[in-house]
Amino acid sequence: MNMKKVLVTGDRPSGKLHLGHYVGSLLNRVKMQADHETYIMIADVQALTDHFATPDLITKNVHEITRDYLSVGINPELSNIYIQSQIPEIAELTIYYMNLVTVSRLERNPTIKTEIAQKNMEDSILVGFLCYPINQAADITILGADIVPTGEDQFPMIEQTNEIVRKFNRIYNTNILKECSCLVGSTGRLPGIDGKKKASKSLGNAISLADDSTTVKEKIWNMFTDPNHLKVNDKGRVEGNVVFTYLDIFHENKDEVSALKDHYQKGGLGDVKLKSLLYEDIESVLTPIREKRQTLTNKQVIDVLQNGTQNARKKAQSVLHSVRNVIGFNY
C-alpha cells in the first residue's frame, strides 16, 4: 500500500511563471516531490474565469508553464504535471459541490474580494469567477490531497475547501473526502516590482522565470524604491522598498543586507548599487533555470503532459466513482 502523503498544487496558465511562484510554491514542490505523491495542475479552466474571451493567452502558455516546471527542477518521474480541462471529472465534482456553498460565503472569501476589487468587477461579477473557489475545492479533493503548497493569498481557498469537505461528509454520512492543509513557502508573498503587495502575472509586475538578462535588468532598474530618495546622500527608507524586500529574500549574506540597510537609512548609498547587487542575485537564480529550459524538446513537454494527465485522471475517476456512490448515483 502506498503510504505517501498526496500533494496537489497548480497554477493558471494565463502568463509565464514568475519569481513569486518560485519562492511562494515552486521551491516547496521541488523539495517535496521525492517523498510525496505529487500532482501539479495547469489550471486552464480556471484561467478562463478571467480570460474567457482570449483563450489563446491560456492555451499558448500551457507548454510554457510546463517548461517552467521542468526548468526549476520538477522531475516528471516524481511529479505528475497535468491539464485541468483534460479531466472532466473535476467539472462534475464542482457541480455537486455547488449545492454546498452559499453565494454570500463566496462573496466573503477574502481572495475573491481582493481580486474583484483589483479587476474592478464589483458591478459585473461573473458566476464562473465567483465559483472558482468551488472548482478549486474539486481540484484538490478529487485527488485526495493532504497537502497543498501555495502562496499565502490562497489560505482562504483551503479554508473553503475544508468547509466543503466537512459539509459533504456530514450530509452524505461518509468520510471519503479528506481535509487538507496549506503549506506556504518561506516567503508568503513576494511583492510586485512596482511596490504592489503581490507580484502577479495579470498585474504585469513580476520578473518571469523565462525573462532574458536584459529584461531582468530593465525590471530591476525600474523597481520601486523610496520615491523621496533622490540624491545619493539623502536618507532612504527601507520599509516598502522593494529592492530591499527582494535582497532580504535572494541575497544569501544577510549580515551584508543588514549593513546596507543601515547605510541606506543614514544616507550615502545609491539605488543603482543596490540594484546591481540584486541583479546578480536574481541572475544566479535564473541562469540555471534558463540553461535547463534550453535542453527541453517539444516532444518531451508533450510526453510529460500526456503521462501526468493520464495518471491524474485515473485517480480522479476513482474518487468521483466513490462520490457518485455515496450520493446514490450508481444506477
| HSE, side-chain direction, 13 A CA sphere, residue 280 | 7
Q: Which region, judged by CB under 6 A, interacts with ligand ATP, from 87-95, 194-202, 275-283, 302-310?
A: 194-202
Q: Which three cell numbers stand for residue 3?
A: 503510504
Q: Which is nearer to ligand ATP, 24 or 144 (CB)?
A: 24
Q: 142-161: which residues touch ligand ATP (CB under 6 A)? A: 150-151, 153-154
**Size of the residue set binding ligand ATP (CB under 6 A):** 18
Question: Radius of gyration (Cα) for the chain, nearest Å?
Answer: 21
Strand blocks (E) in 77-164: 79-83, 147-150
Interface with ligand ATP, residue 199, by CB under 6 A: yes
Interface with ligand ATP, residue 198, by CB under 6 A: yes
Residue 111, number of CB atoms within 10 A of its CB: 17
Contact 84, 102 (CB under 8 A): no
Contact 110, 158 (CB under 8 A): no
Q: Least distance from C-beta 175 to ligand ATP, angstroms?
A: 27
Interface with ligand ATP, residue 196, by CB under 6 A: no
| DSSP one-letter code for 245 | H
Separation between Cα atoms, residue 92 and residue 95, nearest integer Å: 5
Interface with ligand ATP, residue 136, by CB under 6 A: no
| DSSP one-letter code for 75 | -
Q: Which is nearer to ligand ATP, 113 or 263 (CB)?
A: 113
Interface with ligand ATP, residue 49, by CB under 6 A: no
Q: Which is nearer to ligand ATP, 245 or 323 (CB)?
A: 245
Q: Which three cell numbers stand for residue 74?
A: 520538477
Interface with ligand ATP, residue 169, by CB under 6 A: no
Helices (H) and strands (E) in the chain, counts: 15, 5
Which has the closest alpha carbon to 191: 119, 258, 125, 239?
239
Q: Which three cell numbers stand for residue 288?
A: 540555471
Interface with ligand ATP, residue 205, by CB under 6 A: no
Q: Which is nearer to ligand ATP, 133 or 236 (CB)?
A: 133
Q: Which is nearer to ligand ATP, 155 or 172 (CB)?
A: 155
Residues making up the chain, counted from first to last: 331
Q: Least distance from C-beta 57 to ligand ATP, angstroms?
A: 10
Q: Which three cell numbers stand for residue 273?
A: 548599487
**Exposed (0-12), middle (13-18) or buried (19+): which is 178, by Cβ within 10 Å?**
middle
Interface with ligand ATP, residue 133, by CB under 6 A: no
Q: Which is nearer to ligand ATP, 37 or 153 (CB)?
A: 153
Q: Which is nearer to ligand ATP, 114 or 169 (CB)?
A: 114
Binding mask 9-48 for ligand ATP (x = CB under 6 A): --xx-x-----xx--xx-----------------------
- The residues that touch ligand ATP, with contacts defined as CB under 6 A, are 11-12, 14, 20-21, 24-25, 150-151, 153-154, 189-190, 198-202
